[in-house]
Structure 1
Amino acid sequence: MLVVVASVSGAPGASTAALGLAALWPGRPGLLVEADPTGGVVAARFGLAQEPGLASLAAAARHGGHAGGAAPYVQQIPLGLHVLVGPGAAETAAGAVSVLSGQPDVVARLAPVVVADAGRLYAASPASGLLRCADAVVLVASGSTEYLDHLDTRLPALRATARPDRVGLAISGRSAYTPQEISGRLGVPVWAQLPTDRWGAGVLAGRMTGQAWTRTRLAQALRALAASLAAGGQPAHAALEVAR
């Protein structure tokens, strides 16, 4: 299963959500793939080396040397999660993501569950190829009017790239609008509401530690979303609400 997590504007926490979904996937953690063409952040946040990672996988795929397994390219972070880190340099990252978006089956076959962080989806993003074969596309967005307006203008292009029935929203932080109002306006289901949670987000950003983070409100919301995705490929067209 391939789940793509992305945003369209601002910094609503797409990387945090992708990490959490992979770490909290039911049964066993998924594999996090940093496919952000503007550059990866996981290596810097968790003190990892830049290689092995996305660039070496892309080089192998480009020359036909990829044998199908993830083991030569992954590293592990303290969350007990295997990650395929993206290069920090945008030019290198964009080149690697472009190669792998042209061969999305390579990414999808890396593990039973792959969660790809595609970063911000701008026009002609090199990560767009991953959307075409994704089992689910989770768009993380702030619930403010400004960001919802921006999302509204980008959705037609995203619908033309990914299958519309596989696209859903994760609304980050508080919003003046209910999930039903957002879904009705944008024509896309709200799959989750991600609460503002300093501790949960801090652990997923590498700033804090502690196993109890899995009991935070953010972890609860991400666990519910992961379970719903795992059960049916996409959540029901109703918001997965968490306590505010």
Structure 2
Amino acid sequence: MTIFALQSAGGSPGVTTSAIALALGWPSRVIVAECDPSGGDILAGLLGGHVPPGGGLLTLALEAGRAGDLAVSAFWRHLIELDAEGSRLLLAGLSDPRQSIALQPSWPGLAATFAAVPCDVIADCGRLDASGAVPPLLAAAGLVALVLRPTLRQVSRARPRIDMLTEMVSRERIAVLLAGDGPHSRAEVAGALGVPVLAALPRDAKAAALLADGLGSRRALRARPLMRSAAGAGRALREAAALAGRPSVASQQEAGYPAEIAAVDAGDRS
């Protein structure tokens, strides 16, 4: 299905919280994949340490290295259910940022696997900077959304990162997701950055405390402003990805992206 890659320009706008909120409001089965090279937070945050570590992104990559391939069927063993129905799933991220070095050769295979699973994947890619980008994953994404607050500081940080993204993906697959409060409107941010602002998630301290740190009860979560907005934001992201379409095999190969990603795309279109 489609990979939705979320990144920030720094300043902690809440990429992980946004990813979880989007997933909980997603209209179909979805996987949250913690792909931030600096490490994942959901096991200790939303899940409050109640799920023992094990499996996850690094173990999946190590298994793939030993087997020489990433079987989609084996991928499901590494997922954790985030709801009773098993329709919101988690691929837990790294527990130590030093592990990201060992993970680098595995990104092409991981990206190809994400693109091949029969449901959407929301990839929390953390902060976008010169050393923290994951180009193979971005190349396979149907949409890359830069998460930021509508403030001058965040917009200023986003400008060069939009330029960085255009070196890795086509501009029509880049968008902005606003998170939290700020003095600037969606139209002002879109005009300053030259890419569409697809949605805005409001500041919601109670919902954020639950999603980020597991504080509070899930009982009333669905009625919170953040969750109501997240459902609409998810629809906007899916519509934008559908309009953008996937990059052609030729364009991926010309850009130097791994052949296995292009092969997955070709298989989807056949």
Bigger mean CA deviation after superposition, 65-74 or 168-177: 65-74
Bigger mean CA deviation after superposition, 99-108 or 83-92: 99-108
Give the drift of 1:147: 1.4
Residues 235 and 159 from structure 1, CA distance in 2 versus in 1: closer, same or farther, beyond 3 angstroms?
same
Give the drift of 1:203: 2.3
Give the drift of 1:76: 2.1
Q: How does 1:22-171 map to 2 (within 5 A)?
A: 22-26=23-27, 28-45=28-45, 46=47, 47=49, 48-63=51-66, 64-69=68-73, 70-77=75-82, 81-96=88-103, 98-103=104-109, 104-171=111-178
1:200 aligned partner: 207
Letter in 1 for 2:80: Q
Residues 196 and 234 from structure 1, CA distance in 2 versus in 1: closer, same or farther, beyond 3 angstroms?
farther
Instruction: Report which of the two structures shows the higher radius of gyration computed on alpha carbons.
Output: 2
| Whole-Å separation in 2 of the counterparts to 1:51 and 1:221 | 33
Match of 1:196, SS state, is coil
Aligned residues of 2:39 and 2:95 also touching (Cα < 8 A): yes
1:225 matched to 2:233? The reply is: yes
Give the drift of 1:230: 2.9
Give the drift of 1:51: 1.1
Which structure has greater helix proportion? 2
State the Cα RMSD in Å: 2.0
| Whole-Å separation in 2 of the counterparts to 1:38 and 1:94 | 10
Tell me the TM-score normalized by structure 1: 0.88
Letter in 2 for 1:60: E
Residues 2 and 36 from structure 1, CA distance in 2 versus in 1: closer, same or farther, beyond 3 angstroms?
same
Give the drift of 1:67: 1.8
Bigger mean CA deviation after superposition, 147-156 or 201-210: 201-210
| Whole-Å separation in 2 of the counterparts to 1:106 and 1:62 | 13
Letter in 1 for 2:76: A
- Spell out, residue by residue over 1:76-103, the C-alpha distance to the aligned partner (whole angstroms, 9 max, x if none): 235763101012200114533x234222
Bigger mean CA deviation after superposition, 108-117 or 8-17: 108-117
Aligned residues of 2:71 and 2:113 also touching (Cα < 8 A): no
Letter in 2 for 1:14: V
| Whole-Å separation in 1 of the counterparts to 2:134 and 2:216 | 30
Letter in 1 for 2:95: G
Structure 2: any 5+ residue segments left out of the alignment? 245-270
Letter in 1 for 2:142: D
Bigger mean CA deviation after superposition, 224-233 or 184-193: 224-233
Match of 1:22, SS state, is helix
Aligned residues of 2:6 and 2:122 also touching (Cα < 8 A): yes
Match of 1:58, SS state, is helix
2:21 aligned partner: 20
Question: Between the two proteins, what is the percent identity of the paired residues?
Answer: 27
Tell me the TM-score normalized by structure 2: 0.80
Give the drift of 1:111: 4.1
| Whole-Å separation in 2 of the counterparts to 1:199 and 1:235 | 34
Aligned residues of 2:150 and 2:185 also touching (Cα < 8 A): no
2:260 aligned partner: none
Match of 1:5, SS state, is strand
Bigger mean CA deviation after superposition, 32-41 or 174-183: 174-183
Count of aligned pairs between the two proteins: 234
Match of 1:117, SS state, is strand
Aligned residues of 2:38 and 2:94 also touching (Cα < 8 A): no
